[in-house]
Structure 1
Amino acid sequence: MNALAPALLNPRRIALVGASADPTRLTARAQVYLRRHGFDGALYPVNPRAETVLGERAYPTLADVPGPVDLAYLLLGTEHVEGAIADVAAKGIPVAAILADGFAEAGPEGQARQARLLATARAAGVRILGPNSMGLINLNARTACSVNAALEAESLPAGRLALVSQSGSMLGAIMARGAARGLGFSHLISTGNEADLTASEIAGLLVDDPQVDAILLFLEAIRRADLLAEAARRAHAAGKPIIAFKLGRSSFGAELANSHTGALAGSDAAADAFFRANGIARVTMIEALLEAPALFIGRKPLAAPKRAVSVMTTTGGGGAMAVDALGVAGIETRAPDAVAVEGLKAAGLPHHGRMIDVTLAGTRADKVKAALSALSADPHTDLALSVIGSSAQFRPADAVAGILGAAQAGLGKPVAAFLVPQADVSLRMLGEAGIPAFRTPESCADAIRAFLDWQAPRAVPEAPAVAHALPARPDEADARRLFGALGLETGIAVMATPEAVPEGLRYPVALKILSPDLAHKTEVGGVALNIADAAALKLAAREMLARVAARAPDATITGFLVQPMAKGLAEAILGFRRDPESGPVVLVGAGGVMAELHRDTALRCAPVGLEEARAMIAEVKGLKPLAGWRGLPKGDLEALAAAIVAVARLAAVQEVSEAEINPLIVHAEGQGVTVADAWVVRG
């Protein structure tokens, strides 16, 4: 195990710097909670104004603490933290957790303060948890080194789920919600601003911990995507699922993530692509973050999910809610096939329709077990779901007995339950048995959707180097040359002035202004089409130069680009972006001026291979006609897939932050594609 892991995950000698002797103060909580919940290691309160703190000997400085220390929790005001880190370094303490805020999230002054703090720590080999960290909890070791008020609880159930949260307050909220349904945690760690230690790196440590079966992440931003990808791949090999809940699905959420922790937020679509590529399951509801692990633990991603489930219910309305929520999530509730029907008939149960309503028979354990066994035999579904009505609340033992029996029978397919009433005892019984149990139809659908979307980490294709020099301020001609180096050659000519018309052009042609400042040329009159001959080209160039100079007087003009007119079956957009969180991504969508409006796109981590590129094309509704939909002529989808692979190779060109081809004209099958417009941005 990594040498950092014992000090961070299971510290036995803890210094509480700034510990208060007043038990009502926030800075006293860590000591109170550590002792209340049974920590039997060494505690060293550091307080220069007290000989004892809450009944334990205090020390005036860290230097006065005898012997080595695993972890220092700094409970000091922001202005005192930098000096304390120097003391931590001098003492040789490997890890310091910092409670105070006022660092990267607090603007330029806070960012500078955090940078100084980190420089001091790194020079001495000290690792920092935080700032803005509510600490860490190891429930199996009874180490509650945190100020989170949820630790006021008299007892904390230990378990085998680990949670890493960038939000300190959510640490306690998730722990409390889990305890209410019998779910225990091994570790709960608050990473705060992640000046040094990130959720990504800590997830990697938890993969190697034998007390951990699954790792849950509450993320506001992805930092150190490389470390998270590595952790996820090792977790997959170890059979330990990583399940993430990430904020930032809306622009407002991304903005808050930035202001809260000083993160640089990337796009949510890129985060989705990153999770999928690296075998991380993503839920979108906080309830599902708690409820999903039982569905994942002990299982591998399905190689070919049917995206269909079987549903049996004791309540028609409750079952319909589940079916509806699943349908919204893109999961079909399927009527039983012939094999399942025979099993249901043999048990004397209903067997018609998309949802099997067993009504009062659902209160009998033998009938529930028989129904779930029959439905699990259906080869066309991925999961059997039991929806339970009032009996879950008033007769919990009877209500869940059949589900427990079916799950223990080893049916070869997950069995789960949605409890319609507020049924805490039933939820706890199912949770303690490791059976996925859901409190709402929406969280039920979200967890099942996440399970069916879950994939093994993909094999990352090679990204060979691209031998091409890009100017400091590239225009479209420079972008075309770059794409040409990637294998997307386009027959273009460049005119330095309106009079410098090249020989041998194939008319009619399109003319465009060249400028590193103009990404959208049509908006300033910088595009002219269907120019018939050389004389018309000279005139069009003169007029264009005058228009652009009037509409964009500050733009640097570097010349004109000329290319033959081209017409195909459809237009696509191809884009590349170096996402600040997730790294390089490639996008394909229906192209042209409406691309931004329709948002009909598919996105993957770059680079990609041909199979992945083909799958991207299949996801874009606007490109489906090119597959010969309803007898329409087929487009050259293989050439489009090759173009996606080519653009994705920009992952190896570090100076490129963004690039785009829009539109890319797709011709008939076997006739290739044509780059109609291109753009590149240096990082």
Structure 2
Amino acid sequence: MSRTEPAADLAALVRPGAVAIIGASADPTRIGGRPIAYMRRAGFQGAILPVNPNRAEVQGLPCSASVAALPQVPDVAVIAVPGAAALQAVEELGARGTRFAVMFTAGYAEIGEAGAEAQAALVAAARRHGMRLLGPNCLGLFNAATGFYPIFSASLEGGLPLPGRIGIASQSGAYGTHLFAACRNREIGTAMLITTGNEADLAVADAIGWMVQDDGIDVIMAYAEGIQDGPAFAGALAEARRARKPVIVMKVGRSAVGSAAAQSHTASIAGNDAVFSAVLAEHGAIRARSTEELIDIAYAATRRIYPVPNSLGVITISGGAGVLISDAAEAAGLPMPPMPEEAQRRLKAILPIASPLNPVDCTAQAFNDLSLIGRFTEAMIAEGGYASILAFFTQIGGAPSMAPAIRAQLNAVKARHPDRLYALSVLASAERNRDYEADGYLLYEDPARAVIALDAMGRLGASFSESPPVPPPAGAPVRLPDANPSEAEAKRLLAAAGIATVPEAACADEAAAVAAAESFGFPVVMKILSPDILHKTEIGGVLLDIGDADAVRRGTATLIGRAARHAPSARIDGVLVARQIKGGVECILGIQRDPVFGPVAMVGLGGVFVEVMRDVVFRRCPFGEDVAEAMIRAIKAAPLLTGARGRPPCDIAALARMLSRLSVFAVQAGPRLASIDLNPVFALPEGAFAADAVIEVGEGRSVGVSRPAATP
């Protein structure tokens, strides 16, 4: 059962008044000793309560022999003891009223079936007492604002987090702390880290949901190996978009090998990677392809400027760098429109050797006249109207003889246009970089990285400013048959939901087939009719261009004979005779039941486009016709539908109507629906018609996982 309640209230987890360390160590380098050492070093003001039956004192703090002996009830307990002792600790802490347990202990679902059973016992014990679990097999968390560090990562030996407003939610503890440390090394502040490990209870979705509510966090970085509760994850992303808080996600497990590794590491369901990307896009979250990109985009988002519509204006002292930036912008899809012709003429008059198009190249002449930087940049914004500005100044941006004047020129422009997003590609000292950043500029040594980050800010802005989608149409409950229906039965079910199909008739014998063909008019299409033969073309079960009554009779015998040879055990209900449609564009519409996110719709062009190029678009069901049309127009080969090369445009509205109704049908059919395949669907200048339909019925397992109540 999927979680539907609000995001978990993690206030007591991240801002406790007292924390117990079960398995506390006097050695500050051991797993049970590091949290104590870190919290004391960071000045945590709450009570730190070590528990160890063999010690009266740990790291200068009084130590209790047991949970029962604790002088007060801790809000949070860190459990750093193995196996049976961990289960006992959960029972004892729950009985005392502890609200959260951070489970360092490993050896649970990540190691196999026996571990999964032990993990289930942990969860059951916690639920009996209304206690929430973080982990097991997690590295912990930190809240830099309060000095709370129930975590055992060695990354903190290199220094505590810098002040900042980025939160990190990570399934992997090692990768989550790697992100924090990488940010610290780039002098980017991270306010909070929550690692979730095996996610027996609390998950990345809960961490994101809490960070959305936290006024100290503006930007959320997330790392996931697999999502167990798809609706909860999608809900957290939706909450983030409503709050205008960017979520930048690193999701691993794209490959078969990577997916298997994710399964063994966190016992997660990997799901379909393309579906995961579609869910992120649906909610305006950004998917990062690398650690560097993840940090670059999060760093840019801390400026909280999300330009809509986004366009890139480039000022450079290097023509080569301008070409590099232009290539990167084209690859990212970030528009770089040229400067207005009058502005180009004016800039040419100022500097005849300049290239004023965009990129605007003020050349090395800037060495002699630094005012060119200010004048050209002002022209780009005031006359070019660009929302994002990228300046490539390389070493001169850091040169002591030039940097102060460059900074003054840029700041004067920025003061007149504070709503634009500014990035610099310079090579400068750490001190000089801090000055630029204090002025509000994003800094990237590689200008191509800057382009990717600036493009992401525009995509975030477009998402934040989107109007709510049109609600999906209402749908009646769908009663699926006990087994896979035949094509004719599938089409009857779909027709009841308003999905148009090619006119056809199910025929039990030759005479009925001839009568149907004559009623439709020749030529017709003939197909074998069997609920057991889903992919008819693989056995030669489809005949085209049947031109007369004799051909219908021969075709009937041919189809039944082929079915008998290739699928001797299949039930044969006869043949299907359908009107043959000419012209139009062949499309494919489909539904797949994703194990994580439930029914997902797919649309693409048929033939080579789906089989070889895989030019398809996905979306979670259900959705309205506006979303369906946007999906269709997002297909790379969409110009074939809209009238490319003199073709008549197809009826996009009819195709969108069919896709929307199919998405509603998928939800109304419930969890027993495994898949639907409409291929081909003929998109005509007027109307769209499904020529083939396959519905597969499954076992009916619901998506999501059963979770305890959100508030303990």
With the length of structure 2 as denominator, give the TM-score of the two structures: 0.86
Q: CA deviation at 1:557?
A: 4.6
Deviations 1:442-480 (A, max 9, x none): 432321222222313643623523333111222323321
* 1:493 corresponds to 2:493: no
Task: Check the 8 A contact 2:560/2:574 in 1, yes or no.
Answer: no
Sort the Cα spacing of 1:254 and 1:13 in 2 relative to 1 into closer, same or farther, 3 A: same
Decide which of 42, 50, 55 is 2:47's aligned counterpart: 42
Instruction: Choose the corresponding residue for 1:335, options 329, 334, 338.
Output: 338
- Aligned mates of 2:674, 2:126 — CA distance in 1: 31
Q: 1:77-96 maps to which residues of 2 (within 5 A)?
A: 77-78=82-83, 80-96=85-101
Of residues 355, 358, 363, the one that matches 2:359 is 355
Choose from 471, 474, 494 the match for 1:464: 474
Note the C-alpha offset of 1:567.
1.8
Q: What are the within-5 Å matches in structure 2 for residues 45-60 of structure 1?
A: 45-60=50-65
The answer as to whether partners of 1:288 and 1:444 remain within 8 angstroms in 2 is: no
Deviation at 1:150, TM superposition (A): 0.9
Gaps (5+ residues) in structure 1? none
Task: Tell me which amino acid in the other structure corresponds to 1:638.
Answer: A
- The corresponding residue for 2:422 is 415
Q: Cα–Cα, structure 1 residues 410 and 130, in superposed 2: closer, same or farther, change >3 Å? A: farther
> Is contact 2:469-2:626 (8 Å) kept?
no
- The partner residue of 2:669 within 627, 644, 653 is 653
Match of 2:611 in 1: 596
Contact 1:400 1:426 in 2 (8 A): no
Corresponding residue for residue 591 of structure 2: 576
The aligned residue for residue 325 of structure 1 is 328
Q: Higher relative contact order by CA 8 Å / sep ≥ 6: 1 or 2?
A: 2
Q: 1:147 to 1:405 in 2, by over 3 A?
A: farther
Whole-angstrom CA distance in 1 between matches of 2:410 and 2:16: 40
- Aligned partner of residue 377 in structure 1, secondary structure: helix
Q: Which residue of 2 aligns with 1:246?
A: 251
How far apart are residue 553 of structure 1 and its match?
Answer: 4.3
Q: Which amino acid aligns with 1:85?
A: V
Shift of 1:376: 2.1
Aligned-partner residue type, residue 103 of structure 1: Y
Q: Which residue of 1 aligns with 2:451?
A: 445
Partner SS for 1:663:
strand
Question: Structure 1 residues 131 and 58, CA, compared in 2 at 3 Å: closer, same or farther?
Answer: same
Mapped contact 1:608–1:648 kept (Cα < 8 A): yes
* 2:648 aligned residue (626, 633, 653): 633
Distance 1:84 1:461, change over 3 A: same
Query: Residue 222 of structure 2: SS of its match in structure 1?
Result: strand
1:165-204 paired onto structure 2 within 5 Å:
165-204=170-209
TM-aligned CA distance change 1:606 to 1:353, over 3 Å: same
| Segment drifting more, 394-403 vs 506-515 | 394-403
Checking the alignment, whether the CA contact within 8 Å between 1:239 and 1:299 is kept in structure 2 is no
8 Å CA contact retained: 2:165, 2:218: yes
Q: 1:674 to 1:63 in 2, by over 3 A?
A: same
Unaligned runs of 5+ in 2: 1-5, 701-712
The letter of the residue matching 1:29 is: R
- The two structures have a TM-score, normalised by structure 1, of 0.90
Q: How far is 1:389 from its partner?
A: 0.8
Read off the aligned partner of 2:623 and give its amino acid letter.
V
Q: Which residue of 2 aligns with 1:387?
A: 392
1:425 Cα offset (Å) = 4.1
Q: Which amino acid in the other structure matches residue 334 of structure 2?
A: I
Change in 2 beyond 3 A, CA 1:132/1:502: farther
How far 1:666 moved relative to its partner? 1.9
User: Which of 290, 293, 316 lines up with 2:295 in the alignment?
Assistant: 290
Of residues 542-551 and 40-49 in structure 1, the stretch that sits farther from structure 2 once superposed is 542-551
In structure 2, C-alpha distance between the alignment counterparts of 1:404 and 1:336, rounded to whole Å? 22
The amino acid that maps onto 1:679 is V
Quote the Cα distance in structure 2 between the aligned partners of 1:138 and 1:5.
Answer: 12
Q: How does 1:467-546 map to 2 (within 5 A)?
A: 467-475=477-485, 476-490=487-501, 491-496=503-508, 501=513, 503-505=515-517, 506=520, 507-532=522-547, 536-537=551-552, 539-546=554-561
**Alpha-carbon deviations, 1:302-324, whole Å to 9, x = none?**
5544xx31111234444433332
1: CA distance between counterparts of 2:294 and 2:410?
22
What's the CA shift string for 1:65-106, capped at 9, x where partnerless? 122211111112345433332223212111111123333333
Q: Is the 8 A contact 1:283 1:446 kept in 2?
A: no
Q: Choose 28-37 or 230-239, whichever is displaced more.
A: 230-239
C-alpha distance in 1, partners of 2:92/2:377?
62
Identity of aligned residues (%): 33
The residue number in structure 1 matching 2:78 is 73
Matched, 1:311 2:327: no
Q: Is the 8 A contact 2:22 2:52 kept in 1?
A: yes
The residue type equivalent to 1:641 in the other structure is A
Distance in 1 between the 2:124 and 2:679 partners? 44
Whichever residue aligns with residue 198 of structure 1, its letter is: A
Contact 1:497 1:559 in 2 (8 A): yes
Change (3 A) 1:315 1:626: closer
Match of 2:620 among 587, 605, 615: 605
Match of 2:157 among 140, 152, 155: 152
Offset of residue 540 of structure 1: 3.3
**2:264 alignment counterpart:** 259
Tell me what 2:11 maps to: 6
Cα distance, 1:598 vs structure 2: 1.5
Moved more, 44-53 or 451-460: 451-460
SS in 2 for 1:63: coil
CA contact (8 A) 1:14 1:72 kept: yes
Task: Name the residue aligned to 1:666.
Answer: 683
Match of 2:623, SS state, is coil
Q: C-alpha distance in 2, partners of 1:155/1:412?
A: 33
One-letter identity of the residue aligned with 1:452: G
Q: Is the 8 A contact 2:240 2:246 kept in 1?
A: yes
1:217-236 paired onto structure 2 within 5 Å: 217-236=222-241
How many residue pairs end up in the alignment? 678
Cα deviation, residue 585, structure 1: 2.9
Distance 1:624 1:272 in 2: 23
Question: 101-110 or 85-94, which moves further after superposition?
Answer: 101-110
Letter in 1 for 2:670: Q
CA distance in 2, matches of 1:108, 1:560: 49
**Kindly tell me: are residues 242 and 154 of structure 1, through their superposed partners in 2, closer, same or farther at Cα, counting changes over 3 Å?**
closer
Q: 1:5-36 deviations in whole A, cap 9, x for unaligned?
A: 32122123111112223333233222222222
- Equivalent residue of 2:149, what SS? strand
Q: 1:602-626 deviations in whole A, cap 9, x for unaligned? A: 3333333333333322232434233
Equivalent residues of 1:270, 1:604 under 8 A apart: yes
**RMSD over aligned Cα atoms:** 3.1
Please tell me whether the aligned partners of residues 479 and 678 of structure 1 are also in contact (alpha carbons under 8 angstroms).
yes
User: Which one is further off, 248-257 or 493-502?
Assistant: 493-502
- Does the Cα contact within 8 Å between 1:30 and 1:145 map onto a contact in 2? yes
* 3-state SS of 1:270 partner: helix
User: Residues 155 and 135 of structure 1: is their aligned pair in 2 closer, same or farther, counting only changes over 3 Å?
Assistant: closer
- Aligned equivalents of 2:66 and 2:365: distance in 1? 69
Amino acid at match of 1:451: M
Q: Show the counterpart of 2:710.
A: none
Distance 1:347 1:296 in 2: 36
Q: Is the 8 A contact 1:15 1:73 kept in 2?
A: yes
The one-letter code sitting in structure 1 at the alignment partner of 2:267 is G
Per mean C-alpha deviation after superposition, the further-off stretch among 229-238 and 461-470 is: 229-238
1:299–1:483: structure 2 CA closer, same or farther, 3 Å change rule?
A: farther
The more displaced of 101-110 and 549-558 is: 549-558
